[in-house]
Amino acid sequence: KQEVTQIPAALSVPEGENLVLNCSFTDSAIYNLQWFRQDPGKGLTSLLLIQSSQREQTSGRLNASLDKSSGRSTLYIAASQPGDSATYLCAVLTQGGSEKLVFGKGTKLTVNP
Amino acid sequence: EPEVTQTPSHQVTQMGQEVILRCVPISNHLYFYWYRQILGQKVEFLVSFYNNEISEKSEIFDDQFSVERPDGSNFTLKIRSTKLEDSAMYFCASSGVWDTQYFGPGTRLTVL
């Protein structure tokens, strides 16, 4: 059974700092991995999708990497801003025909001005 | 930019009542999903729907739950007899084939 873990659970940084959020998964046979952003009481905004054959994806100040064999992904946020404050969720789609995303519990990021 | 929409944004109901949560997926998507998030917990998969039938469901999705695509645009989740533990945020999502899943803003269900 796929399990997704995100470390740390919460992170507080000053504005302008570069930071890394971590995600690990127990079954390395994944089809893809998605990073989402969730603002309090709101829906999930898809940030990046990495296919299992890819090593990384970039969008603006965000860079996500994937090491499938070790069951890890990282989300790098450059030059953090107060508007980046949110919970960041990692989710994997496991191979074998399942269509369900399995989510981690998220990392709550606070960027202080 | 196309987006998934959900109504209502907040639903309050009494225990034992039926509720229907509504979603309009992105128009050219083929797969539709319902997930839920109990306060403070992980987002959990409930069900996926493809080609007008359920393609996968979780252990949570028991006989009190049902899904339907009543027309070409709406996708609904019905809970027949709500329980206190059904209180959660319910998210609808849609996707193409093995592609990014796009989520709606959610319906907050409160069962009293």
For A61-71, the pLDDT digits (tens) are 999 999 999 99
Q: Do B43 and A103 touch (CB under 8 A)?
A: yes
Tell me if B6 sits within 8 A of B22, measured CB to CB: yes
Work out how many CB contacts closer than 8 A connect A with B.
Answer: 51
> Which of B45, B59, B95 is best to mutate for the A interface (most A CBs within 10 A)?
B45
The CA distances from residue B112 to A105, A109, B80, B83, B84, in Å, are 26, 32, 15, 8, 6
Q: Do B91 and A43 touch (CB under 8 A)?
A: yes
- Which residues in chain B have their CB less than 8 angstroms from residue A43's CB? 91, 103-106
Q: Which is nearest to B58 in space by CA: B95, B25, B33?
A: B33
**Token pair belonging to A95:** 């191979």
Mean pLDDT estimate for chain B: 93
Q: Do B55 and A100 touch (CB under 8 A)?
A: no
pLDDT tens per residue, range B57-105: 999 999 999 999 988 789 999 999 999 999 999 999 999 887 889 999 9
pLDDT band at A40 (very low <50, low <70, confident <90, very high): confident
| Main-chain dihedrals φ then ψ at residue B82, nearest 5 degrees | -65, 145
**Token pair belonging to B98:** 């093995």
Put simply, the chain B residues between 1 and 30 with a CB less than 8 A from any chain A CB are: none
**Token pair belonging to A32:** 């893809």
- Please give the Cα distance from B46 to B90 (Å, whole number): 9
Residue of A nearest to B45 (CA): A100
Give how far B11 is from chain A: nearest CA, Å.
Answer: 14
Give how far B106 is from chain A: nearest CA, Å.
Answer: 6
- Please give the Cα distance from A82 to A15 (Å, whole number): 6
